[in-house]
Amino acid sequence: MSLLLALLLAAPGSAAVISRVPTAPVPVLRGPLTAPALSPNLGPTLLAAPLSSLTLAPALAAPQLPAAPVVQAAQIPSVVIDLTQDAPQAAPTTLESLVGFAKSLSGLTFSDPKAALDSFWTGSQARKPEVEAAGPSYLANSRDADFLRLGAITAAAQTSPTGRKVLKAVMALTQKEGKPIQVRFQDLKGNLGEYDYIAKVLYLDRKYADGDPRLGAATMIHELVHVLQHGQGVPSEALEMELEAHVLTLIVLDELGIKPEEESSFSAAAVRELRKSPKAFEEWMAGQLPGKVRLDKGFDEAVESLEYEREELQESIENLEQSYARRPSARTKGRLAKADERLAAVQADLKRLKSPSGRAAYRKLAARAKALMQRHHRSLARRD
């Protein structure tokens, strides 16, 4: 059984298919892959801005990105974040201002959401991306206290120029698809964030429900990059997705004034490897995330890897079906559902990799990740 399949079927209560942000690098890769343990040295920053427990009216919508200032200063003691500006701005910090911020924001809508989304990947400026009317929520969470923390994390993300670009692109995507991204806080047992790309749910570790919202912002941006990537028609388990998302995470941390080691030992190790060279970073990431397909090995090897996984999944599904027929249980039923979901994703990935359009999309992702790694490597070298 492959490491990826072992991870997929290991925990009955976990998300089916996910992209993860680990807290610490994996020191040894033997046997079934398990999530790395929480780093004990996350730093005092986590407790910098505690948020008290709140009980408010149920089912508040998640905050939307602001357009122009649409509320009076008395309603929001801190500044209103304006995404049309490039300079970082301070996020609301007091509980009073967070409540006002969360309740009072209005959203951007795009006259051409596809063009606005494309502009994120190309770096071009989409035409008429400004406000035409109040837009729908682009992130959703039904828990009151979590909604307020999500507002704080989103506000912090907007103070990063890179984070702001990602949020704009996510807004364009959700407007195009007509539904928000579901965001949930959950105990992830060693991971900072996860994105279940089949259920389309983004998870943030429960520790982000209290503490410095900038730390949650960096992780949320990482996972939102995966949301955007999965809309590009590339293999769902491509290593290049993680290369791009992790470098963008490092950039966001830098823009937010957070040292990588304050966020996680994994990010600290990532910076160390990227300082050596983009190739060293890529090889290190491949070791941390075994089972990912890689374009530098060629399309044929990527297809072969997925076909092997498909065979393993089909065999596993057959065994699970027999086990369930002998002794039905919720655990076996859940494992079977996960295997079915992953098999469908593998089939879709094989179809992509065998099509001209899918191969072109993968080449674009790989080239984009390579260029980003090179740029940030040079940026780190200039500081040394």
Tell me what the pLDDT averaged over the chain comes to: 74
Question: Rg of the Cα trace of the chain?
Answer: 21
102 falls within a domain: yes
CB 293 within 8 A of CB 239: yes
pLDDT digits (tens, 9 = 90+) for 314-350: 999 999 999 999 999 999 999 999 999 999 999 999 9
The pLDDT, as a whole number, for residue 367 is 95
pTM over 0.85: no
- Asked whether residue 313 is domain-assigned, the answer is no
Q: Tell me: the pLDDT tens digits for 185-243?
A: 999 988 999 999 888 899 999 999 887 899 999 999 999 999 999 989 999 989 999 99
Q: Structural domain tally of the chain?
A: 1
Beta pairing, strands 18-22 & 181-186:
unpaired
Does residue 331 lie in a domain region?
A: no
Is pLDDT of 57 > 70?
Answer: no
Q: Is residue 80 part of a domain?
A: yes
Tokens read off for 246: 């992790």
Please report the pLDDT score of residue 177 as a whole number: 86
| 337: in domain | no
pLDDT classification of 75: cutoffs 50, 70, 90: very low
**pLDDT tens, residue by residue, 120-150:** 666 655 444 332 222 236 788 777 678 778 8
Residues 6 or more apart whose Cβ sits within 8 Å of residue 233: 352, 357, 358, 361
Task: With respect to residue 350, please indicate whether it lies within any of the assigned structural domains.
Answer: no
**Ramachandran class of 107: left when φ > 0, alpha when ψ lies in -120 to 50, beta otherwise:** beta
Has residue 19 got a pLDDT over 80?
no
Asked, for residue 88, whether it belongs to a domain, the answer is yes
On the question of pLDDT at 65 being above 60, the answer is no
| C-alpha 214, offset from chain centre | 15
Q: How many angstroms separate the CA atoms of 253 and 276, rounded?
A: 19
Residue span of the structural domain in which 155 resides: 3-293+363-383
Q: Cα(73)–Cα(70) distance, rounded to whole angstroms? A: 9
| pLDDT, position 12 | 37
- Mapping DSSP onto H, E and C, the string for the chain reads CCHHHHHHHHCCCCCCCEEEEECCCCCCCCCCCCCCCCCCCCCHHHHCCCCCCCCCCCCCCCCCCCCCCCCCCCCCCCCCCCCCCCCCCCCCCCHHHHHHHHHHCCCCCCCCHHHHHHHHHHCCCCCCCCCCCCCCCCEECCCHHHHHHHHHHHHHHHCCHHHHHHHHHHHHHHHHHCCCEEEEEECCCCEEEEEECCCCEEEEEHHHHCCCHHHHHHHHHHHHHHHHHHHHCCCCCEHHHHHHHHHHHHHHHHHCCCCHHHHCHHHHHHHHHHHHCHHHHHHHHHHHCCCCECHHHCHHHHHHHHHHHHHHHHHHHHHHHHHHHHCCCHHHHHHHHHHHHHHHHHHHHHHHHCCHHHHHHHHHHHHHHHHHHHHHHHHHHHHC
- For the record, the structure tokens of 328 come out as 């039905």
Is 336 part of any domain?
no
Query: 50 burial class (0-12, 13-18, 19+ CB within 10 angstroms)?
Result: exposed
Closest alpha carbon to 373 in 279, 236, 285: 279
Residue of higher predicted confidence among 19 and 218: 218
CA nearest to 86, candidates 134, 60, 125: 125
